[in-house]
Amino acid sequence: MAAETELTPTSYIDHHLTYLTTQVSEGSFWVLHVDTLVTSLVLGVISFGFIWLVVRKATSGVPSKTQAFVELAVEFIDNEVKNTFHGNRHVLVAPLALTIFVWVLMMNAMDILPIDIMAWVTENVFGVHNWKIVPTTDVNTTFALALSVWFLMIFFNIKVKGLSGWMHELFCTPFGKNPLFWILNLLFNFIEYVSKPLSHSLRLFGNIYAGEIIFLLLGMWAATGVSGTIFGSILGAGWAIFHILIVTLQAFIFMMLTVVYISMAHESH
Amino acid sequence: MNINFTLISQALAFSVFIWFTVKFVWPPLLRAIEERQKAIADGLAAGERGRHELELASQRSSDVLKEAKQRASEIILQAEKRATEIVEEAKRMAKEEGDRIITGAKADISHEMFSAKEALRQHAAQLAIAGAEKILRREVDAKVHADILVAIEEDLK
């Protein structure tokens, strides 16, 4: 805790929601959230490193338990992708879905770690103050993922349909080819293309951020004494158990939306 | 809630992870899974084939068994027939042999009887001569009375 300032609920929450930043260059945009970036990188390296180690020793014979576990995840995702995407999914879409699911799941799962204990660990073990351990509560992360997917979507739109085909689709759907509708169609598609990355990223961000805030609010029960601490702990445990569902579900939804957006880019209307 | 350079760095990290998964994670694992699926499918097909072959083999074996049983009963039938034939033959031969023996014995008996009769006749003749000698109380010259003796002998026949 920041002992030098007076501890109020607002300062407690503010404290937990402050990023560890570094100024990369001049201007308010050139700020880097070191905690978000490093945590997500570490999680990514751990999870994909683990999968890679398993895959390197993968056998087509009787699999080991870890290989069976990884295969379970891969086949689950492969099935989901197969049901939605009808092109050759092994080139990009299925591995992309795996990347998103695993990475987002890991980043979301950081939310279940007790927030004050983790703050203590990062401060006293790693010696860094203000370390936010949940990368997906940073809107930069979710926007980075959603915008990457958005660019992939546009890339595939142009690749599959050609620039003219895509333009035709922008002007002639959903209301028809009549030139009277061109502006309306374009407006419609514009809204769609803007809303896609927004809803995609803000859904994940909102769910995880809200979960984090609720953990913080429950954590504040500790300020009311011993019984409040016990009560808050019970509620916190319940919320954490429920949060396992949210964490997985949000990772899954994010993955499915990615697959759906990219499949839509492959299909003509 | 402020968008900043973190977004770009996260997007870069994301693309690196995508590249890594596309390049190093997905293909080998997929290959392993597909190979195993193929092996399982092959195994199932082989099992199915084996089952079919077993069915055929059992069909064949029951056919062979049926045929063998039929052959065996035929052989038994033939053997029985042959056995009765042999028995009949033996009976017939035994009867023939017996008849022959009986015929031989009958011939022997009649021969014996004849020779016994002959011996008896001679004996009787001698007795008669001896008796006659005694009656005549003199020696009969055999040479002189041979014709008488022969005549007596002829009578006794």
A203 is catalytic: yes
Percent of chain A at pLDDT > 90 equals 48
In this prediction, residue B151 carries a pLDDT of 80
Please state the rounded mean pLDDT for residues A123-150: 88
Query: What predicted TM-score, i.e. pTM, was given to this entire model?
Result: 0.74
In this prediction, residue A116 carries a pLDDT of 81
Q: Which residues contact B157 (CB under 8 A, 6 or more apart)?
A: B121
Considering only residues A47 and A8, tell me which one the structure prediction assigns the higher pLDDT. A47
Percent of chain B at pLDDT > 70 equals 95
B7 vs A75: CB contact, 8 Å cut-off?
A: no
In this prediction, residue A193 carries a pLDDT of 93
Question: Which residues face A23 on adjacent strands?
Answer: A31
In this prediction, residue A269 carries a pLDDT of 60
Q: Percent helix, strand and coil across chain A, each rounded to 5?
A: 75, 0, 20
Percent of chain A at pLDDT > 70 equals 97
In this prediction, residue A31 carries a pLDDT of 87
What is the C-alpha to C-alpha distance for residues B144 and B111, in angstroms, rounded to an integer? 34
Amino acid at B128: A
A89 is catalytic: no
CB A142 within 8 A of CB A204: yes
Q: Does B64 touch chain A (CB under 8 A)?
A: no
User: What is the separation of C-alpha A156 from the centre of its chain, rounded to a whole number of angstroms?
Assistant: 22
* pLDDT tens track for A68-116: 999 899 999 999 999 999 888 888 999 999 999 999 999 999 988 888 8
- Look-up of token digits 């607002």: A10
- Check pLDDT > 70 for residue B49: yes
> What token pair was written down for B57?
């083999």
Best CA proximity match to A246, nearest among A208, A190, A220: A208
Q: Given A207, A227, A233, A263, which residue is catalytic?
A: A207
A141 vs B6: CB contact, 8 Å cut-off?
A: yes
Considering only residues B106 and B152, tell me which one the structure prediction assigns the higher pLDDT. B106
B25 vs A92: CB contact, 8 Å cut-off?
A: no
Instruction: Please state the domain extents for chain A.
Output: 29-266
DSSP E strands, B15-89: none
A124 is catalytic: no
What is the rounded average pLDDT for all residues in chain B? Answer: 89
B35 vs A36: CB contact, 8 Å cut-off?
A: no
Please state the rounded mean pLDDT for residues A192-220: 92
Please state the rounded mean pLDDT for residues B24-29: 90
Question: Which stretch of DSSP H or E encloses residue A110?
Answer: none
* pLDDT tens track for A243-263: 999 999 999 999 999 999 999
Q: Does B40 touch chain A (CB under 8 A)?
A: no
Candidate ranges B28-32, B88-92, B127-131; pick with highest mean pLDDT: B88-92
In this prediction, residue B129 carries a pLDDT of 82
- Check pLDDT > 60 for residue B50: yes
What is the C-alpha to C-alpha distance for residues A97 and A206, in angstroms, rounded to an integer? 21
Own/partner pairs for A220-224, CB < 8 Å, 24+ apart?
A: A220/A9, A220/A12, A223/A7, A223/A9
Work out the pLDDT band at B138, boundaries 50, 70, 90.
low
Please state the rounded mean pLDDT for residues A41-65: 90
Cis, peptide link before residue A114, omega less than 30° from 0: no
Question: Which stretch of DSSP H or E encloses residue A31?
Answer: strand A31-33
